[in-house]
Amino acid sequence: MALLVQSSTPVRTFEDYDEGVHSVAVFPDGGRMVSASYRETLRMYDLKTGVVLKKMEGHCESVWGLAVSRDGKLIASGDQRGEIIAWHGGTSESITQVIKAHFHGVTSLDFSPDGTVLATGSSDETTKLWNTQTWQMQGNPIHCCSTVRCIRYSPSGEILAIATCRNIQIYDAGTRHCIANLAGRTSYVYNFSLAWTLDSTRLLSGASQSDPSIWEWDTSTWKVSDSWIGHTSAVFAIAIHPAGALVASASGDNDVRLWRLSDRQTIAIFHSSNHAMCVTFSRDGKHIISGGRDNKISEWAVPEDALLEDSPKSKARDSSSEILPITATVRSACISGDLSTAEELLTQEIGADSIGIKPSLLGYISKGIALCGKRQIQDAMKAFDFAFVQVMVLLFTYFLLHYGFQAIALFNANEHKEAIQRVQKLAVDFPDIDPLACRVVEVYLHVQLGTISSDGLCYNEAAEHFAVAVNASAAFRNSAIHLMYEELVVLFGWDLETLWQIANRQLCLALVRAGKLAEALESYRSMMDASNETTKASLRAWFSALK
């Protein structure tokens, strides 16, 4: 098992507080962060410099809830008196008067994915929906019959989950029909936090100290599919990594934990000096940002190994799918050819350093359209030039497949040395083009070379090849590479799903046959330490069969 990363030293702190930090949110452009503390003031930060851009005043009591719309245009905050304020996402100025939303404190807020509705939950046991154009309440309040602790829209916006002290209530966001009431925990356990996985197939919930595990709900059945064990006190907040495969949680045990979604294992623990109350990820996914009763915001580095594991096929293989984080209205206008509408909407977003353009084809084309609308022709031409570069990146991706398949063909023609060299050269010459794919091909070829050497009774040579494969495959042992590289499975019949296990098993076997029993035992122990319970059972059965 990879070593558990533990740290008490954040890479950076924001310490402009004399009270605990209750909420924190990062803007879609990745350049700014807004926070709410037990005081009445919100703070807007420049994440690059760490400077407070603005102190946002208007509340008269502690701010308990905070939300930023998906497009970054709106901020909403709610306080202990039951009042909410809406703020302009660009200027940080209030755009409404103080709205008396609830009879008691506002505990949680969330915008619908399209930004047209704000949901607010309160200790007055109601959830209310607000039109973000008129800031009038839509329909009647949802009576939850218990204090509302957290509310979260599903990624599609079709479902609204409400965590109360008594249960978790699931509603159709359109009809407000209650789909399910999720109980399961004992009556003296309060629900505190919620988070949806990106594909909406799972809902994670955290609760009070009486049951500090994270529960994972299957949204097809609304049954608990698993519980995540690790925290020893209340789980106040849960966040999903932008790429979807990692989870962060903040707890009253003073720890922020980083989990792997695939096997529910903790891979890093970040220690603070007091309760961790809130947590989120930076937009690039490289950092965790947390706040709590230590009166500061801390920024923690996500371990590089975890980031490599969190590279899904859509990220590693299809760069064209990473587009400008724009609204559905803008995207529809671009697709339909209504460039005047797209130009107008994009122009509104393109103030200095305010637009979070990802390095992608559609992103730069959209930027070029907006710049033309502002008559910034030279800058627009540069944006279109960058779009051309993205086309070249796509061509290089196809080149990777071509080059990798050449190496495989050479190997199948018994040109083993040249095949390995070709893959290694590709990784060196083009380091930015899916290095994981090169690693997978290289590992598979070394496993095959080890097998050939074993068949020829050259066990020392076989062990060398298997050792190379084991070391190289450590980077993706928990990744679904059989899904990421289906071409290799379909075209060549490779078993990528168990590639890491095969490399480790064959290394143990080769070492035993080479008479290196101590090394074989060490290899077996390392393999078991790095395995989850399911894999361990499989390995024990394999080992028993060898006796």
Instruction: Give the residue-averaged pLDDT of 525-532.
Output: 74
pLDDT at 489 over 90: no
Q: Which pLDDT belongs to residue 320?
A: 39
CA dist list (Å): 381 to 115, 335, 392: 32, 21, 17
Contacts of 17 (CB under 8 A, 6+ apart): 37, 39, 295, 296, 297
Which position has the higher pLDDT, 389 or 438? 438
Gyration radius of the chain's alpha carbons: 26
Q: Give the torsion through C-alpha atoms of 86, 92, 97, 98, to 10 deg.
A: 60
Residues contacting 526, CB < 8 A, separation 6+: 504
Lowest mean pLDDT, pick from 139-143, 336-340, 353-357, 504-508 = 353-357
Kindly tell me if the per-residue pLDDT of 155 is higher than 50. yes
Alpha-carbon gap, residue 342 to 114, rounded angstroms = 16
Indicate if the pLDDT at residue 354 is higher than 80.
no
- pLDDT, position 135: 95
Per residue in 170-198, pLDDT (tens digit) is 999 988 999 999 986 666 678 999 999 98
Contact 198, 240 (CB under 8 A): yes
Instruction: Give Cα separations from 146 to 83, 119, 129, 149 (angstroms).
Output: 19, 16, 17, 9
Report the percent of the chain where pLDDT is more than 70: 67
Domain topology for 434-546: 1.25.40
Of 83-87, 154-158, 452-456, minimum mean pLDDT range: 452-456
Strand order in the sheet with 32-37: 21-26, 32-37, 42-46, 52-56
Average pLDDT over residues 208-218: 88
Distance, in Å, from the CA atom of 22 to the CA atom of 276, rounded to the nearest integer, reads: 9
Q: Which residues contact 348 (CB under 8 A, 6 or more apart)?
A: none
Q: What number of residues does the chain have?
A: 547
Mean residue pLDDT across the chain: 79
Enumerate the domain spans of the chain. 313-392, 434-546
Distance of alpha carbon 249 from alpha carbon 233, whole angstroms: 12
pLDDT grade for 453, boundaries at 50, 70 and 90: confident
Whether the CB-CB separation of 106 and 99 falls below 8 Å is answered with no
pLDDT at 58: 93
Highest mean predicted confidence (pLDDT) among 313-322, 362-371, 465-474: 465-474
The pLDDT, as a whole number, for residue 510 is 84
More confident residue, 71 or 388: 71
Query: Structure tokens of 139?
Result: 């329909």
How much is the pLDDT for 417? 66
Side-chain-side CA neighbours of residue 458 (13 Å):
11
Instruction: Report the alpha-carbon distance of residue 18 to residue 449 in Å, rounded.
Output: 62
Q: Which of 227-231, 302-306, 334-338, 377-381 has the highest mean pLDDT?
A: 227-231
Mean pLDDT score, 375-380 = 67
Confidence (pLDDT) at 441: 73
Residue 438, H or E segment: helix 435-455
Q: How many CA atoms are closer than 13 Å to the CA of 468, on its beta-carbon side?
A: 18
pTM of this structure: 0.59
- Residue 200: C-alpha distances to residues 71, 153, 485, 491 (Å): 20, 10, 24, 32
128, 148 Cβ separation under 8 angstroms: no
Structure confidence at residue 89 as a pLDDT band (50, 70, 90): very high
CB 181 within 8 Å of CB 166 = no
**Residue 167, CB-side half-sphere exposure with 13 Å CA sphere:** 13
> Is residue 514 within 8 Å of 460, Cβ to Cβ?
yes
Continuous segment of H or E residues that includes residue 229:
none
pLDDT in the model for residue 468? 82
CA-nearest of 475, 530, 4 to 522 is 530
Residues 6+ apart with CB under 8 A from 55: 41, 42, 43, 44
In this prediction, residue 401 carries a pLDDT of: 52
**What is the pLDDT, as a whole number, of residue 324?**
43
Cα dihedral 309→310→313→317 (10° resolution): -90
If pLDDT is split at 50, 70 and 90, which confidence band does 526 have?
confident
